[in-house]
Amino acid sequence: MNGKEQAAFSRLGAALDDAVQLGYVGIDPQTQNADVVRARRRVVGEYLFLLGYLAKRPADDTRDRSQRTGDLSRSLGHDSDGDIREAVRNFQRDAGLTADGWVGPETWDAVQQLASFEYPTDVTRWISGEKQREVLWRAVYLRLFAFGLTKLPPRPNSRLQSKQEQTAQDISEGLGDFVRAVAVLQPSAPKLEPALVRETVSLLFDQHAVCALVKVYLDNPAWAPKQKQNLQLIKSFLCNTARIELWLYGYNVDIGNFKRKGPFFKPDRFTQSFDSAMQDFCSDHGKEKAFCARSQREESDVLGWFFAHLVALRLDLPDLQNPEDADRVVERVLADEKTMTGVRGAIKSLGARLWDGVTRAWNWIKSVFKKVVTTVKRVAKRVITNISRFVHGAALKVFSHVVAAIKAVVDGVDFLKEKIVRGSDPEHMVVFHDKDWDFEVFVNASADPAVVDNLTERIALRCEVFAVGGKIVGNLLSIFLSTLRNGVTTGWFALMLAFVRIFKSVKQLRAFSQRALTLMTELDGLRAQA
Amino acid sequence: MSFQTAFESVRDGITDLSQLNVRTFTGEIVVTAAKLEGKDATLAGFLKEATQQGKLTVVGYTNMKIDGDVDQFISATAAESAIAAHNNAVQAGQASRAATLDLFMGLVREGIGKIKPEATTK
């Protein structure tokens, strides 16, 4: 190895150490990285607003000086940090957590479960805990409001469970309407109980399941209700379910009509934004915008296509056939400064939804990458917007694999440095190797074959662990180098670019790291036997 | 251990990844435990003591070159477990050598020219 290569080795090691420390190769859920923490707290602000713990929603204005200076309270659209801390404390108190105002992993998990519409909700936890009832009521109220089944969203200073009889009644009626809508969507299924019971709440919180029910309903026109009241209910329910999906995908719609204090399906700006978002969705997914224009087509046709497409994206879409597409898209986006300005703005303005929509974005990206190469300018902003939402979830998922890989490589390097293989015993077998992997094996004539086999197998396993870990870390290093090459080394954008690359190989990474974990477990077993 | 330390440690030991050698011996091995620990744990030290106490016989020898040429000797009278140990060491050596090449050498070559060199002063 020449001097240039030796220097590169040191630089690569230092670069990877920096990358791990800064969180570019995976976000530690407990990271203290300022960008990550700020973005996470911003999301919490949005969720606390949705749940009614904050009076104002976080600002999305990227020109806000406070964002550049990192003033969290101002970037959340509040006059003082006290509002946010108090909101977090109230949420924690209601959720049965330690009310310290600090958003740690437990608070983050709880708020995600209750307000994200995406994160799986442990319904048993919230239903069974007496202390958690208030926060469950708020989350249920939010869902009902988003589905258009209550007129008002949860608001601050209202103890929903006990003090606001009217609100409690709204929730009760909303649950009744939800159960009625579900009965229309799946006429043959047993009727749900219109109360805070496990079955009803589980379905209310399972957006994927609701979409699947809607899809089946739309496939069966004969199920359409005869009663006018039910027909109106189901029409509103379908549109609001579609609205939630569009919101999760990053289109410019809101869940529920917070401004007008009424979620119902009426011809106003609220509805116009829905139409516009639906047309954009159609266009981005290979349909003419006119297909989704209400004047051109029956609403049920549009919704039928929309939900069928969502379900297909989720279930049937094959993996990206040509992974080079991702690189080509990113390269073309990077080459156009005007587009890049828009892209950066989109990422910053995405706010709370940056963290949502992981599954949706995942499938969506796969489909878009296939189509986007020739029309990159038109859809680049949306592509990157959705990628950025995907980043956080992907980072969290990949992180555990990265940790496994690093352990595997460290074990492999330890192995490489050993002159005598650990476990060697002159009574049975002694194994030497150098750093070029040349082996000298000494088997005692009176050795126990079982002990020899055990050590032999352990050596093979350690080599395999090293090989597997090496592939993962090699992959990550390559991604990191690519990011450096693009000249962007800080912030979300770098992370996003890195994870576009990881996206291409994440399945492989998972397979490798799972193999590494299995091997290490086997190795521990063999060591214990020995 | 940081990656930098690990990389440098590996870098310092790699001299020749172009061929792989595995030798397997059998015999009455009598060595003190100290020969397997600390500074005394060297192949030369081990061999010296082992051969003083008894006779070691080569039961397996494999030399693999990067161009695919393989020289191999396996004793017809060797115990099954000794042959298995030899073959396993060959496979382990191959896998680890390939991983080392993949991980370190490939990255070094990719890294050179893609990372901007550090500023130098004249």
CA A206, CA A3: separation in Å to the nearest integer? 58
Closest alpha carbon within chain A to B89: A439
* Chain A contact for B3 (CB, 8 A cutoff): yes
* Chain B contact for A508 (CB, 8 A cutoff): no
Burial label, A128 (beta-carbon count in 10 A; 0-12, 13-18, 19+): exposed
DSSP-based three-state secondary structure for B27: strand
Other CB atoms within a 10 A radius of the CB of residue A457 amount to 16
* B115–A14 CB contact, under 8 Å: no
CA A231, CA A235: separation in Å to the nearest integer? 6
Q: DSSP strand E in A408-469: where?
A: 429-433, 439-444
* A13–B6 CB contact, under 8 Å: yes
Provide φ and ψ at B27, rounded to 5°.
Answer: 155, -175
CA distance A488 to chain B (A): 12
The answer to the question of residue B120 being in a domain is no
pLDDT exceeds cutoff 60 at B85: yes
pLDDT one-digit tens code per residue, A77-92: 344 456 778 888 899 9
Maximum separation of any 2 CA atoms in chain A, in Å: 91
Residue pair A311/A290 in contact by the 8 Å Cβ criterion: no
* Chain A contact for B6 (CB, 8 A cutoff): yes
Residue A507 confidence class, pLDDT cut points 50, 70, 90:
low
Residue pair A348/A62 in contact by the 8 Å Cβ criterion: yes
**Contacts of A262-271 spanning 24+ positions with Cβ under 8 A:** A262/A151, A263/A145, A263/A146, A263/A147, A263/A148, A263/A149, A263/A150, A263/A151, A264/A148, A264/A151, A264/A236, A265/A148, A265/A235, A265/A236, A265/A239, A265/A240
Q: Residue A454 has what pLDDT?
A: 84
Structure tokens given for A382: 């949306």
pLDDT exceeds cutoff 50 at B95: yes
* Chain A contact for B66 (CB, 8 A cutoff): no
* B115–A11 CB contact, under 8 Å: yes
Looking at the partner chain, which of B1, B11, B35 has a beta carbon nearest the beta carbon of A9? B11
ipTM for the whole complex? 0.79
If you average pLDDT over every residue of chain A, what do you get? 68
- Highest averaged pLDDT of the listed ranges A275-279, A364-368, A387-391, B99-103: A275-279
DSSP-based three-state secondary structure for A83: helix
* Chain B contact for A4 (CB, 8 A cutoff): yes
* A13–B27 CB contact, under 8 Å: no
State the average pLDDT over residues A415-437.
82
Domain boundaries, chain A: 321-529
pLDDT exceeds cutoff 80 at A439: yes
Amino acid present at A255 = I
Domain extent at residue B64 = 16-111
* A413–B6 CB contact, under 8 Å: yes
Residue A202 confidence class, pLDDT cut points 50, 70, 90:
very high
* B108–A437 CB contact, under 8 Å: no
- Highest averaged pLDDT of the listed ranges A283-292, A410-419, B46-55, B112-121: B46-55
Closest alpha carbon within chain B to A407: B1
Residue A179 confidence class, pLDDT cut points 50, 70, 90:
very high
The answer to the question of residue B3 being in a domain is no
The answer to the question of residue B5 being in a domain is no
* Chain B contact for A487 (CB, 8 A cutoff): no
* Chain B contact for A426 (CB, 8 A cutoff): yes
Q: Residue B30 belongs to what H/E stretch?
A: none
For an interface test with B, give the residue of A422, A436, A446 to mutate (most B CBs within 10 A). A436
Number of structural domains chain B divides into? 1
Task: Return the C-alpha torsion angle A220, A226, A232, A234, nearest 10.
Answer: -30
Closest alpha carbon within chain A to B56: A442
CA B33, CA B55: separation in Å to the nearest integer? 19
CA A184, CA A220: separation in Å to the nearest integer? 11
CA A95, CA A131: separation in Å to the nearest integer? 7
In chain A, which residues have their Cβ closer than 8 Å to the Cβ of B100?
416, 437, 470
A101-115, A285-299, A358-372, A386-400: least confident range: A358-372
In chain B, which residues have their Cβ closer than 8 Å to the Cβ of A459?
88-89, 92
The answer to the question of residue B4 being in a domain is no
pLDDT one-digit tens code per residue, A355-381: 343 344 444 444 444 443 334 444 444
**β partners of residue B58:** B25
* A435–B85 CB contact, under 8 Å: no
* B41–A420 CB contact, under 8 Å: yes
Q: Residue B53 has what pLDDT?
A: 73
* Chain B contact for A460 (CB, 8 A cutoff): yes
pLDDT exceeds cutoff 80 at A143: yes
In chain B, which residues have their Cβ closer than 8 Å to the Cβ of A471?
99, 102-103
- Scanning A427-446 for CB atoms below 8 A from B yields 427, 429-446
Q: Which residues contact A502 (CB under 8 A, 6 or more apart)?
A: A394, A398, A476, A479, A509
For an interface test with A, give the residue of B20, B22, B108 to mutate (most A CBs within 10 A). B108
The answer to the question of residue B40 being in a domain is yes
* Chain A contact for B8 (CB, 8 A cutoff): yes
The answer to the question of residue B35 being in a domain is yes
Residue pair A30/A63 in contact by the 8 Å Cβ criterion: no
